Amino acid sequence: MILRTFITSLFFTGTFSMFGQESVPISRQDVMASVSENNTTIKISIEEFNQARAEYRQTNAIFLPNISASYTGISTTNPLMAFGSKLNQEILTQNDFDPALLNDPDQIQNFATTFEIQQPLINVDGFYHRAAAKSKMEAMSLKRQRTADFLEFEVSNAYMQLQLAYKIVDVLNKAYEAAKANKKLADNGFRQGLLQRADVLNVEVRLNDVKNQLQHAESNINNASNYISFLMNDDSFLRFRPTVSLTVNSMFDSNKTVSENRSDIKAMQLGTQALEAMNKADNMAFLPRLNAFGSYQLYDDDMFQADANGYVIGAKLSWDIFQGSKRFGKAQKSKAEFEKSKLQYDQYLSKSKLEFNKAQRMFIDAKNKLDLTALALKQSEESLRIRTNRFKEGLEKTSDLLMAETQYAQKQLEYYQTIFEYNYALNYLEFLTRE
């Protein structure tokens, strides 16, 4: 188990944060493997498919016979049943036709073993019910696949959140170390009379501000780790560390678009087909049904004996001509459900294309923003380098140095946040166009 490996690795690997909490290295592949195996949503989708498959298997009844067996024992003085029981037991004699015995028979026991079989021959509405159940089963299979696709998309985003959280901590750690160094320089300058007390206080405020941001960033690492644990259905809620740093992912294939073969869209198509088949089944319920039947009986006046036997075979053509307009209303209802499903499918397809267009624009915006933030980061880094050198020589104000330092940290955070937005847009496009 992957999670057991994580727990074991707690004792051998990991790094300590500024608060002393140990983290466990984890790769995106490890998360995805654990999610595929343990995620509750996936397990629910599997059981939904199993339910639909069981309903489909129930429709085998339109082809397979219905076989039953029964054993009945009676004791009677009813004239008709007494005469019939003797007849079935093949023990009827001339004396039994005496009117006095016919009208007032002695008590008689009858034990009967019966085997019955019913075989459907023509059941048109049953065929359409079976087609509907099959479409539903296939739709649930595609829904299960789309659930797995969504969780893969969710895992990628959650893992990127963890990567981003660690990047932010790295940036703030460097800013914190720089703030401490500036605090040391400010203290030295104050003792030498080169700086005023207000300058030292500004540096201290900056130091505390970075420390607070760092604490919040550490909490975000725990939040991202907990969400990954939730996806993996792991209640240990370990603190994870990504094995790969946050980087820009590959480009998106611009030729891809939303396809009607996408699993969730195809599932809606099959759902519509199922409702169409149900409507046809309701309409076919007006037709007659033809079924064959047969039975084999064993009779005796002693328990568990069978001195006499007989059989019955035949066929039955039945036709429910009128059921108080119940079937008319049922057919109208299924027709409305079918028409509604077609409209919902068209709406869902249109909305999916709308989401794709929005995602494309989001991706283009993120790409442009990534280029701009990368340039701004280089500029702020160079500005900080120049001001730091001038501050060491006493040629730069403390406030200007702090502003340059703050701006550089902000540009770093913006850059990594933009990388996350770019990768998210890319993953979302891949998710929307996956078949």
Contacts of 55 (CB under 8 A, 6+ apart): 133, 136, 137
- Find out whether 128 and 283 touch, Cβ atoms under 8 Å: no
- Which residue in the block uniquely carries the two structure tokens 């740093």? 245
DSSP state of 250: P
**Max Cα-Cα span within the chain:** 141
Angle at 275 between CA 279 and CA 353, to 5 degrees: 140
Structure tokens at 41: 């949503």
Looking at residue 197, what is its pLDDT?
84
For residue 226, CA distances in Å to 24, 180, 223, 232, 239 come to: 12, 31, 5, 10, 7
3-state secondary structure of 210: helix
165: left (phi over 0), alpha (psi -120 to 50) or beta: alpha
CATH homologous superfamily, domain 2-38+126-278+326-433: Outer membrane efflux proteins (OEP) (1.20.1600.10)
According to CATH, the topology of domain 66-122+289-318 is Outer membrane efflux proteins (OEP) (2.20.200)
- Find out whether 128 and 278 touch, Cβ atoms under 8 Å: yes
Phi/psi of residue 71, each to 5°?
-130, 125
CA distance 363 to 282: 48
CA distance 33 to 39: 10
Closest CA to 251 of 423, 417, 369, 420: 423
CA distance 222 to 152: 21
Looking at residue 21, what is its pLDDT?
58
The structural domains of the chain, with segments of one domain joined by +, span 2-38+126-278+326-433, 66-122+289-318
Q: What is the pLDDT along the chain (435 residues), one digit of tens a residue?
A: 444 343 333 333 333 344 445 889 999 999 999 999 999 999 999 999 999 999 999 999 999 999 999 999 999 999 999 999 988 988 888 888 888 888 999 899 999 999 999 999 999 999 999 999 999 999 999 999 999 999 999 999 999 999 999 999 999 998 888 888 878 878 887 888 777 888 788 888 888 998 999 999 999 999 999 999 999 999 989 999 999 999 998 877 778 899 999 999 999 999 999 999 999 999 988 889 999 999 999 998 888 888 889 999 999 998 887 777 888 898 999 999 999 999 999 999 999 999 999 999 999 999 999 999 999 999 998 988 888 888 777 777 777 777 888 888 899 999 999 999 999 999 999 999 998
Looking at residue 196, what is its pLDDT?
82
C-alpha 178: how far from its chain's center?
46
What's the first-to-final CA gap in the chain, in angstroms?
30
State the number of CA atoms in the 13 A half-sphere of 233 facing the CB.
15
CA distance 370 to 377: 10
3-state secondary structure of 425: helix
DSSP state of 16: B
Q: In what order do the strands lie in the sheet with 308-318?
A: 66-76, 108-122, 289-300, 308-318
Structure tokens at 391: 């501050």
DSSP state of 106: P
Looking at residue 13, what is its pLDDT?
37
